[in-house]
């Protein structure tokens, strides 16, 4: 178990380093991340490398028993490079230059930048490839963070044209795929195609927009591959990772993660997207990151203080940092680095707080981190080799995430809203769930949920059919099968390729405006109904053919039409949800499916804000119980359980205080 922080030594006097390292050692640190924004400190002018300061720093950490991840500092190319190559700057959809002063200001497709990267990263790798204190590398920093993927410059235009030519071969094939006959948008050559800049109505052809997103995502992957190739050729024994952003969707993280040795995550629990602080959003980030490679992962930045730049977010209260830390570990993190060690006194992030305040004086956060360090020293032997194993999976598809960004159907709607709805059920029910790619092995799971599978190709449709035929259970929902892989609508009755699997046809559909709802009731198969449930966002008017009607609408012109169906197919079952169910309806339905498929928790706590997660190691189950509530919660642990913090047997009845954490096992094999 790696444990430590991100350290920006270049921001502090060298005389301070020894004090910081001493405090880190006392806190139980064994790993730090360095240099991801230190380009000028290493190469102030071209080819003039200065490593003596970094040599001393790494040696000091090594002497303290603390190892190092080096970040390649390519997220912020220095001004001397940008002045030579002003065409390296990104341009936005309005044609404006996104200039110097922050970071991620470079274009991924620029032809000049890689030569500087090869010199810098090559020199760093050559210098530290045999340094026993350097265990790995983080490539760049936070690809896909906050509109940093899409660039509309002339270089990207030419690269996009080349990408399209390789994909479609002929301009006629592209015109057919995009349907450019609509609005007289046909092209006579690939050279006529622009990047999707601002236009009248602020609309673009959906196929065109989807291809630009695919192209842009692949450009980032190619950019990352340059650095991976440099490092791997010189230092194949050192791990390579990148700090991804969980639910962020500018890049297909499955493809970005594929060549990495291990997935990485930056997580800030007190900084959720436009929603109250809650345990479900960071849990989803963790489960998604574990799913990028279907393996344990590293948290390369973990909130340690108040997040914020020009404004501040909510300050973590005493005990929250410890609780969020254990949530990360519970979901499969094998390394955890706090961001940051000390709060910066200058720059854009001087209000993004670290373990130490601006003063550098240890306070309550440091004491909390030191407590966690001591606890992890005891837990490490149990965690070593342990993994998260689940019986259910949610399939996150980046193509469909992009499809709903391009055409949200209902104003403001997001693909991830439905993903979050399903995922929250599992957290509240203390039942683990994986979040994986459409290319994952479905047969590992008792049942899978495929949110908003609008865009689907024949291979994936066949894979879903085969999975159900051999006994799997799938859950699909509205818009399933509506689109071809090029983002055109299918010219067949919905749900398109899934009509036989789901046993239904869809005659009509529409949105349910924001703030409105439709009523529905569940049927028990014996003519007895249970009303009082509601739905929102969307409705399908379902014509049932062979399926069981699980629930039906009770209002509007589609009253008595199915809202939820279940169709037997082969040895398995295929459920269809024709709307967005409210929380109570969603719980009732997924309770039924979990019971049918055996995807039930091994052990439970009767409180929705108490999270129960399990890591497994051979015959040992390691239970993490996290009290995210303000309540004192009582529960009965499994027989024979042992508190791994104290090595003492648990009582038959345990009380967990608000903000409390308990880690125990019912086996000490």
**Domain of 396?**
392-597
**What's the number of domains the chain is made of?**
4
For residue 92, pLDDT beyond 70: yes
Backbone angles phi, psi at 456, to 5 degrees: -150, 140
- Is the domain of 616 the same as that of 580? no
Helix (H) / strand (E) element for 179: namely none
CATH code of the domain covering residue 284: 3.20.20.80
CA distances, 28 to each of 174, 251, 334, 376 (Å): 58, 35, 15, 8
Pick from 563, 597, 631: which residue ends a domain?
597
- Is the domain of 129 the same as that of 275? yes
For residue 120, pLDDT beyond 60: yes
| 21 is a domain residue | yes
Burial of 267 (0-12, 13-18, 19+ CB in 10 A): buried
Query: What is the token pair recorded at 607?
Result: 């409180």
CATH code of the domain covering residue 499: 3.40.50.880
The residue annotated as part of the active site, out of 10, 36, 142, 580, is: 142
| 342 is a domain residue | yes
| 176 is a domain residue | yes
- Is the domain of 96 the same as that of 121? yes
Query: Of 31-40, 53-62, 98-107, which range is least confident?
Result: 98-107
- Is the domain of 163 the same as that of 223? no
- Is the domain of 270 the same as that of 378? yes
pLDDT band at 333 (very low <50, low <70, confident <90, very high): very high
Model pLDDT for residues 385-412, shown as the tens digit of each residue: 999 999 999 999 999 999 999 999 999 9
Pick from 323, 354, 383: which residue ends a domain?
383
Q: Reduced to 3 states, what is the DSSP secondary structure of residue 446?
A: coil
| 546 is a domain residue | yes
CATH code of the domain covering residue 660: 2.60.40.1180
- Is the domain of 423 the same as that of 481? yes
| 602 is a domain residue | no
Model pLDDT for residues 351-384, shown as the tens digit of each residue: 999 999 999 999 999 999 999 999 999 999 999 9
Q: Tell me which long-range contacts 200-207 makes (C-beta under 8 A, separation of at least 24).
A: 205/178, 205/179, 205/180, 206/403, 206/406, 206/407, 206/487, 206/488, 207/177, 207/178, 207/179, 207/486, 207/487, 207/488
For residue 565, pLDDT beyond 90: yes
Return the pLDDT at 551: 97
H helix and E strand count, the chain:
17, 31
User: Is 301 labeled as catalytic in the residue annotation?
Assistant: yes
Going by the DSSP 8-state scheme, the letter that residue 195 receives in this structure is: P
When pLDDT is averaged across residues 636-654 and rounded to a whole number, the result is 95
When pLDDT is averaged across residues 162-187 and rounded to a whole number, the result is 98
Highest mean pLDDT: which of 209-223, 272-286, 309-323? 209-223
- Is the domain of 262 the same as that of 354? yes
Q: How far is CA 385 from the centre of its chain?
A: 23
pLDDT band at 200 (very low <50, low <70, confident <90, very high): confident
- Is the domain of 83 the same as that of 100? yes
Model pLDDT for residues 509-530, shown as the tens digit of each residue: 999 999 999 999 999 876 667 8
Give the whole-angstrom CA distance, residue 74 versus residue 466. Answer: 45
For residue 135, pLDDT beyond 50: yes
Return the pLDDT at 668: 47
- Is the domain of 181 the same as that of 243? no
The residue annotated as part of the active site, out of 10, 36, 250, 301, is: 301
| 554 is a domain residue | yes
CA angle at 207 for the pair 204 and 211, rounded to the nearest 5°? 100
- Is the domain of 263 the same as that of 412? no
Query: Of 19-28, 303-312, 483-492, which range is least confident?
Result: 303-312
Cβ neighbours for 25, distance < 8 A, ≥ 6 positions apart: 64, 65, 66
| 315 is a domain residue | yes
For residue 669, pLDDT beyond 50: no
Return the pLDDT at 527: 64
Give the whole-angstrom CA distance, residue 124 versus residue 129. Answer: 8
Percentage of the residues of the chain whose pLDDT score is greater than 90 = 93
- Is the domain of 316 the same as that of 449? no
When pLDDT is averaged across residues 172-186 and rounded to a whole number, the result is 97
User: Is 320 labeled as catalytic in the residue annotation?
Assistant: no
- Is the domain of 144 the same as that of 161? no
| 201 is a domain residue | no
């Amino acid at each position: 178990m790696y444990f430590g922080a991100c350290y920006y030594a270049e921001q502090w006097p060298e005389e301070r380093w020894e004090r910081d390292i001493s405090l880190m050692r006392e806190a139980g640190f064994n790993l730090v991340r360095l240099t991801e924004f230190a380009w000028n400190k290493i190469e102030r002018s071209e080819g003039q490398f200065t490593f003596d300061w970094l040599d001393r720093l790494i040696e000091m950490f090594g002497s303290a028993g603390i190892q190092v991840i080096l970040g390649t500092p390519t997220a912020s190319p220095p001004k001397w490079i940008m002045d030579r190559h002003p065409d390296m700057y990104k341009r936005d959809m309005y044609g404006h230059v996104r200039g110097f002063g922050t970071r991620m200001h470079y274009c991924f497709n620029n032809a000049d930048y890689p030569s500087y990267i090869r010199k810098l990263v090559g020199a760093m790798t050559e210098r530290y490839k045999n340094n026993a204190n350097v265990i790995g590398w983080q490539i760049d920093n936070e690809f896909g963070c906050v509109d940093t993927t899409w660039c509309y410059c002339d270089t990207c235009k030419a690269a996009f044209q080349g990408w399209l030519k390789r994909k479609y071969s002929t301009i006629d094939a592209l015109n057919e795929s995009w349907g450019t006959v609509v609005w007289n948008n046909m092209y006579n050559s690939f050279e006529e195609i622009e990047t999707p800049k601002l236009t009248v109505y602020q609309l673009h052809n959906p196929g065109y927009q989807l291809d630009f997103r695919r192209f842009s995502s692949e450009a980032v992957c190619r950019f990352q591959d340059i650095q991976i190739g440099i490092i791997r050729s010189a230092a194949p024994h050192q791990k390579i990772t990148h700090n991804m952003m969980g639910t962020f969707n500018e890049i297909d993280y499955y493809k970005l993660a594929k060549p990495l040795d291990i997935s990485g995550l930056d997580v800030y629990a007190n900084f959720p997207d436009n929603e109250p602080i809650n345990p479900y959003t960071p849990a989803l980030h963790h489960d998604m990151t574990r799913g990028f490679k279907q393996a344990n992962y590293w948290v390369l930045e973990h909130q340690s203080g108040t997040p914020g730049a020009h404004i501040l977010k909510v300050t973590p209260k005493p005990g929250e940092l410890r609780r969020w830390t254990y949530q990360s570990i519970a979901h499969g993190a094998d390394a955890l680095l706090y961001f940051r060690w000390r709060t910066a006194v200058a720059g854009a992030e001087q209000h993004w707080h670290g373990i130490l305040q601006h003063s550098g004086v240890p306070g309550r956060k440091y004491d909390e981190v030191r407590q966690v360090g001591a606890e992890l020293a005891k837990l490490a032997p149990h965690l070593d080799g342990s993994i998260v194993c689940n019986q259910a999976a949610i399939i996150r598809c980046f193509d469909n995430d992009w499809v709903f960004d391009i055409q949200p159907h209902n104003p403001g709607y997001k693909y991830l809203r439905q993903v979050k709805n399903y995922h929250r059920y599992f957290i509240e029910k203390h039942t683990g769930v994986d979040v994986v790619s459409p290319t994952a092995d479905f047969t590992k799971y008792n049942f899978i949920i495929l949110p908003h599978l609008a865009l689907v190709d024949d291979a994936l449709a066949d894979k879903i059919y085969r999975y159900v035929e051999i006994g799997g259970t799938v859950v699909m929902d509205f818009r399933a099968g509506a689109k071809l892989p090029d983002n055109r609508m299918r010219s067949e009755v919905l749900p398109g390729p899934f009509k036989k699997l789901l046993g239904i046809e869809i005659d009509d559909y529409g949105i349910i405006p924001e703030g409105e709802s439709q009523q529905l009731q569940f049927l028990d198969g014996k003519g007895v109904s249970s009303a009082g449930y509601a739905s929102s966002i969307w409705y399908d008017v379902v014509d049932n053919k062979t399926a069981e009607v699980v629930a039906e609408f009770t209002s509007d012109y589609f009253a008595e039409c199915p809202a939820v169906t279940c169709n037997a197919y082969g040895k398995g079952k295929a459920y269809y949800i024709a709307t967005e169910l409210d929380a109570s309806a969603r719980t009732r339905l997924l309770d039924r499916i979990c019971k049918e498929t055996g995807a039930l928790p091994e052990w439970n706590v009767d409180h929705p804000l108490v999270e129960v997660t399990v890591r497994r190691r051979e015959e040992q189950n390691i239970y993490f119980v996290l009290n995210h509530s303000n309540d004192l919660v009582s529960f009965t642990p499994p027989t024979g359980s042992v508190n791994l913090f104290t090595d003492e047997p648990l009582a038959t009845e345990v009380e967990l205080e608000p903000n409390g954490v308990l880690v125990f096992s019912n086996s000490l094999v």
